[in-house]
C-alpha cells in the first residue's frame, strides 16, 4: 500500500453539515484512509491509498457531491466571493418579494382573484428560486442521513406552499372553512433563514482575509549582494542559506538572518509586540517581515523563505483556523430528531384517520401536522437573537464576529492577556525626570528633529508642560541604538543611553546614577542627558496601564475567571505590570510560537479566552476558544479574532462575556418557546382531541399558532436591547 496525503481547497460548502457529509461519504471509500474537512477554512486533508484511488478520482467524487475543488487559495477565494455575492442577491430578492406578498395579503389594493394569483406568482419565485438551496441541501443531507434545518425548512415551507396552491387552484377539494392560503408564512421563513446564512457568510468572509494580509507582510523581493559588491533584485524564494542580503533604511527584512555588517534600529512590533525599536548590530538575529527603521545592514540568510518565523506564524494560523470547532447548533441538533418524528407523525395521522374511514380528516390533519411543525420559530430562534445581540454589542462598542463562540463563553476558565497595547497603552511616555526645567527648551528643540518613538515621547511630555521648542540646532549626529548629539546655543548636548555618555567620558553624578539604576530595576527605560560634558539628569520612560484595565481584572475575578498575563517582555516588566493589575499568574519572555503553545496547554484545563492586539498574537487569538482583539490592533489580529473591541476599552471584555451569556440564554428560551407550541400543537393538529370533544386544529389555526410562536421568539430576542451589561 502506498499512502499519500492530499490537501484540497473545497468550495460550495454552506454549513458544517456539508463538511460532515463529505467526510462521511469519503470515509466509506476503501481507498480513502482518512478524510478531514473543515467548513471554517474550506480545506480538506485526505490520506489515500494510491493503489486504490488517485487524486483525480478523489476530486471527481467530491465534485459528484455537488462541491467544487479549487486549484489554489486565490481560486478558492474567487469562488467563495462569487457564492457570497449570489447569496446576497438571493436574500435581497427574497426580502423584497416577501414584503410585497405581505402588503398584497394584508390589503385590498388589487381586486380578487388577480390579487391571489399575484401573491401565488411572487411566492413561487421565493419558494423555488430564493429557496432552491434548501431543496438542494436537503437532498444532500438526506443522502447522508443528516436531518438538519434545511430539511425542516424545505418540508415545512413546501407543505404550506402546496396546500395554499391547492386552495387557490382547486378550492373545491376543501370545505369552505378550510380554504386559507399560507404563502406569506412560507416566504417569511425562507427570508429569515437566508438572513441567518448571509450573516454567517459575512463572518466567514472576513475571517479568511487575515491569512492573505499576513502573506503579504514579508517582501517578495530581496537585494542579493553579488561577489563584486553590487546588488541584484531576486525573488525571496530563490534565496539560499548563506546568501548575503542588503537591507536599506525603511525596508522590510526579507528573511530570517544574522547581521554581518552594519547596525540599525529594527521595528519588531509586528512579530514580537515589542513597542520600542530594538537596536541590532553584527551577530544579532533579525526576522522576516520586521522593519529597518534606520541604518543600513547586511544580513546572512539563516533560513529559507518557507521556514522563517513569519512562515511558522502563518502555519499556526492555518492550523488554528482549520481546527474542528465543536459547533453545536441547537436547532440542527434537535432537528435531527424532530424532522423524522414530524414526518412519522404526519404519516401516522394519515393512516389512523384512513383506517377509521375519514379521508378528509386524514388529508387535512396530516397537512396540519406538517404546517404547525413548520420551523418558523425554530428558524428564527437563533438568527434573531444573534441579530439583536450584534446590534446591542455594536452600540456598546463590541463587535461579535463569530456567533459560534456564544456557546462556550459561559465555560471560560482562563482569560489570558497580552501586555503591550492590550492592558497597557502601548505608547512610550515620560514617567518622571530630574532634569531642571531650564534645559527643557534646549532638549525639546533637539528631540523634535528625530522620529524615534523615545524622542516623540519626550517631545510630547515637554509640549504638555508648555515648553517652547524653537531654538536653533546645528551639528546633529544620530547614533543608531544609542542616542543623539547636537549643538544648541553654543552648547554641546548629548541625549541617549549610558553607553553613549560613556563613549564621551561623561561622569554621571551619584544622584543621577542612583535614579538610573532604580528605574532600570523597575523595568522602565531611561534616557540620560548631558550638556558640555556635565550630566544634568535623566528621563524615565514607561508604558502606562490603561485606565480601566485594573477594574476589568477585578470583574473577571468576581465572575470566577482566572486572569493571566502572557507577554514577550522581560520578567521584571511583566511582574511589575501584573502586580499593578492584581494578576497572580504570569508568563514572561514568551516568543510568538510559544504563546500559541501556552494557550494550547491551558486549554487542557479549561476554556480559554485570549485578548491581544498584535500580529504576533494572531495565532493565539485563533487557537483560543474565544479570541478577542482591539480595534487599535493590527488588521491581522482583528481578522483572526472572534470579538473586536471597537472602542478599545478593556471593560468591554467583561461586557462581551455578559452579552454573550445573555444571548445564549435568549436563544435557549427561544428554542423552548418554539418547541412548546409544536409539542402542544402537533397532537391537536393530528386530531387527538377530536374523538373526545370534536376539536380539530385546522390548517388555518395551525398557521396562526405557528405565527404566534414566531412573534414570541422575536419579542423575546428584542429584550437584549435593554440588557444592562
| Bridge partner residues of 246 (DSSP) | 223, 298
The answer, yes or no, to whether residue 24 has pLDDT greater than 50, is yes
DSSP code per residue over 79-112:
HHHHHHHHHHHHHHHHHHHHHHHHHHHHS-SS-T
Q: Are 473 and 486 in contact (CB under 8 A)?
A: yes
- Please tell me the predicted confidence (pLDDT) of residue 238: 87
Q: Are 491 and 438 in contact (CB under 8 A)?
A: no
Catalytic residue among 148, 418, 617, 625: 418
CATH topology of domain 221-307: 2.70.150
Q: What does the alpha-carbon distance between residue 632 and residue 622 come to, in Å, rounded to a whole number?
A: 18
Average pLDDT, the chain: 80
- Please tell me the predicted confidence (pLDDT) of residue 562: 95
- Please tell me the predicted confidence (pLDDT) of residue 471: 86
pLDDT band at 327 (very low <50, low <70, confident <90, very high): very low
Chain-centroid distance of CA 197 in Å reads: 17
Q: Are 396 and 648 in contact (CB under 8 A)?
A: no
Strand 221-225 versus strand 244-247 pairing type: antiparallel
Average pLDDT over residues 244-268: 87
Which own/partner pairs from 597-601 qualify as long-range (CB within 8 Å, at least 24 positions apart)? Answer: 598/416, 598/566, 599/416, 599/566, 599/623, 599/624
Q: Are 339 and 346 in contact (CB under 8 A)?
A: no
- Give the pLDDT confidence of 462-477 residue by residue, as tens digits: 888 888 888 888 888 8
CATH match of 3-71 with 3.30.70.100: yes
Q: Is the dihedral of CA 423, 428, 429, 432 positive or negative?
A: positive
CATH topology of domain 425-544: Calcium-transporting ATPase, cytoplasmic domain N (3.40.1110)
pLDDT band at 604 (very low <50, low <70, confident <90, very high): very high
∠ CA 343-348-350, rounded to 5°: 100
Average pLDDT over residues 419-436: 82
DSSP code per residue over 568-593:
SS-HHHHHHHHHHHT--EEE-S--HH
pLDDT band at 323 (very low <50, low <70, confident <90, very high): very low
- Give the pLDDT confidence of 704-717 residue by residue, as tens digits: 666 677 677 778 88
pTM > 0.85: no
Average pLDDT over residues 247-260: 87
Distance between terminal CA atoms of the chain?
Answer: 59
- Please tell me the predicted confidence (pLDDT) of residue 314: 67
Q: Respond yes or no: is residue 502 known to be catalytic.
A: no
- Please tell me the predicted confidence (pLDDT) of residue 326: 42
Greater confidence (183 vs 147) lies with 183
Backbone φ, ψ for residue 685 (5° rounding) = -60, -35
- For the ranges 259-263, 333-337, 412-416, the lowest mean pLDDT is seen at 333-337
- Give the pLDDT confidence of 534-592 residue by residue, as tens digits: 888 888 887 778 888 999 999 999 999 999 999 877 777 788 888 889 999 999 878 76
CATH number for domain 403-423+546-641, candidates 3.40.640.10, 3.40.50.1000, 1.20.1630.10, 3.40.50.2300: 3.40.50.1000
Nearest-Å Rg of the Cα atoms of the chain is 33
* 3-state SS, residue 329: coil
Query: What residue ranges do the domains of the chain occupy?
Result: 3-71, 72-218, 221-307, 403-423+546-641, 425-544
The answer, yes or no, to whether residue 210 has pLDDT greater than 60, is no
The answer, yes or no, to whether residue 325 has pLDDT greater than 50, is no
Amino acid at each position: 500500500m502506498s499512502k499519500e496525503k492530499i490537501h484540497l481547497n473545497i468550495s460550495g460548502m454552506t454549513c458544517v453539515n456539508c463538511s460532515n457529509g463529505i467526510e462521511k461519504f469519503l470515509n466509506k471509500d476503501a481507498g480513502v484512509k482518512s478524510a478531514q474537512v473543515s467548513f471554517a477554512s474550506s480545506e480538506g486533508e485526505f490520506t489515500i491509498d494510491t493503489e486504490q484511488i488517485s487524486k483525480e478520482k478523489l476530486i471527481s467524487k467530491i465534485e459528484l457531491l455537488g462541491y467544487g475543488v479549487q486549484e489554489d487559495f486565490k481560486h478558492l477565494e474567487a469562488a467563495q466571493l462569487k457564492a457570497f455575492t449570489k447569496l446576497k442577491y438571493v436574500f435581497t430578492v427574497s426580502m423584497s418579494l416577501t414584503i410585497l406578498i405581505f402588503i398584497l395579503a394584508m390589503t385590498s389594493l388589487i381586486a380578487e382573484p388577480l390579487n391571489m394569483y399575484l401573491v401565488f406568482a411572487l411566492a413561487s419565485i421565493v419558494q423555488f428560486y430564493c429557496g432552491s438551496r434548501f431543496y438542494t441541501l436537503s437532498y444532500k443531507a438526506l443522502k447522508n442521513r443528516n436531518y438538519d434545518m434545511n430539511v425542516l425548512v424545505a418540508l415545512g415551507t413546501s407543505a404550506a406552499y402546496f396546500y395554499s396552491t391547492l386552495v387557490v387552484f382547486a378550492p373545491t377539494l376543501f370545505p369552505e372553512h378550510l380554504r386559507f392560503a399560507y404563502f406569506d408564512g412560507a416566504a417569511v421563513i425562507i427570508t429569515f433563514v437566508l438572513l441567518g446564512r448571509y450573516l454567517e457568510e459575512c463572518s466567514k468572509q472576513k475571517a479568511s482575509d487575515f491569512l492573505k494580509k499576513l502573506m503579504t507582510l514579508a517582501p517578495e523581493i530581496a537585494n542579493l549582494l553579488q561577489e563584486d559588491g553590487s546588488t541584484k533584485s531576486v525573488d525571496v524564494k530563490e534565496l539560499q542559506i548563506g546568501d548575503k542580503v542588503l537591507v536599506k533604511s525603511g525596508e522590510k527584512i526579507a528573511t530570517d538572518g544574522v547581521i554581518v555588517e552594519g547596525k540599525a534600529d529594527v521595528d519588531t512590533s509586528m512579530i514580537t509586540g515589542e513597542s520600542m525599536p530594538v537596536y541590532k548590530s553584527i551577530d544579532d538575529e533579525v526576522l522576516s517581515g520586521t522593519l529597518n527603521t534606520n541604518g543600513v545592514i547586511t544580513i546572512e540568510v539563516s533560513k529559507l523563505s518557507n521556514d522563517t518565523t513569519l512562515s511558522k506564524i502563518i502555519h499556526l494560523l492555518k492550523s488554528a483556523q482549520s481546527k474542528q470547532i465543536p459547533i453545536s447548533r441547537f436547532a440542527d441538533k434537535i432537528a435531527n430528531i424532530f424532522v423524522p418524528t414530524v414526518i412519522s407523525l404526519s404519516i401516522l395521522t394519515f393512516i389512523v384517520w384512513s383506517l377509521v374511514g375519514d379521508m378528509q380528516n386524514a388529508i387535512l390533519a396530516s397537512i396540519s401536522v406538517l404546517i404547525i411543525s413548520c420551523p418558523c420559530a425554530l428558524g428564527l430562534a437563533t438568527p434573531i437573537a444573534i441579530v439583536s445581540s450584534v446590534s446591542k454589542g455594536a452600540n456598546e462598542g463590541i463587535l461579535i464576529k463569530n456567533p459560534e463562540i456564544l456557546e462556550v463563553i459561559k465555560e471560560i476558565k482562563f482569560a489570558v492577556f497580552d501586555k503591550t497595547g492590550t492592558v497597557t497603552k502601548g505608547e512610550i511616555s515620560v514617567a518622571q525626570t530630574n532634569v531642571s526645567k531650564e534645559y527643557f527648551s534646549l532638549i525639546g528643540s533637539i528631540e523634535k528633529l528625530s522620529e524615534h518613538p523615545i524622542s516623540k515621547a519626550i517631545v510630547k511630555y515637554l509640549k504638555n508642560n508648555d515648553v517652547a521648542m524653537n531654538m536653533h540646532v546645528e551639528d546633529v549626529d544620530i547614533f543608531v541604538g544609542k542616542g543623539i548629539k547636537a549643538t544648541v546655543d553654543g552648547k554641546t548636548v548629548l541625549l541617549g543611553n549610558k553607553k553613549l555618555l560613556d563613549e564621551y567620558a561623561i561622569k554621571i553624578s551619584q544622584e543621577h546614577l542612583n535614579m538610573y539604576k532604580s528605574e532600570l530595576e523597575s523595568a522602565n527605560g531611561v534616557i540620560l542627558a548631558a550638556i558640555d560634558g556635565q550630566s544634568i539628569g535623566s528621563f524615565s520612560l514607561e508604558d502606562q496601564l490603561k485606565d480601566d484595565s485594573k477594574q476589568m481584572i477585578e470583574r473577571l475575578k468576581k465572575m470566577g475567571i482566572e486572569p493571566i498575563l502572557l507577554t514577550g517582555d522581560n520578567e521584571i516588566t511583566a511582574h511589575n505590570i501584573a502586580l499593578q493589575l492584581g494578576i497572580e499568574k504570569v508568563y514572561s519572555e514568551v516568543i510568538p510560537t510559544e504563546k500559541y503553545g501556552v494557550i494550547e496547554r491551558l486549554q487542557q484545563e479549561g476554556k480559554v479566552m485570549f485578548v491581544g492586539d498584535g500580529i504576533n498574537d494572531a495565532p493565539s487569538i485563533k487557537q483560543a476558544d474565544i479570541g478577542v482583539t482591539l480595534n487599535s490592533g493590527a488588521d491581522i489580529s482583528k481578522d483572526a479574532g472572534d470579538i473586536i473591541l471597537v472602542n478599545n476599552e478593556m471593560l468591554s471584555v467583561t461586557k462581551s462575556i455578559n452579552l454573550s451569556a445573555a444571548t445564549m440564554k435568549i436563544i435557549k428560551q427561544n428554542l423552548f418557546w418554539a418547541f412548546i407550541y409544536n409539542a402542544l400543537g402537533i397532537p391537536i393538529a393530528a386530531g387527538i382531541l377530536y374523538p373526545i370533544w370534536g376539536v380539530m386544529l385546522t390548517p388555518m389555526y395551525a398557521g396562526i399558532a405557528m405565527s404566534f410562536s414566531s412573534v414570541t421568539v422575536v419579542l423575546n430576542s428584542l429584550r437584549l436591547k435593554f440588557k444592562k451589561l
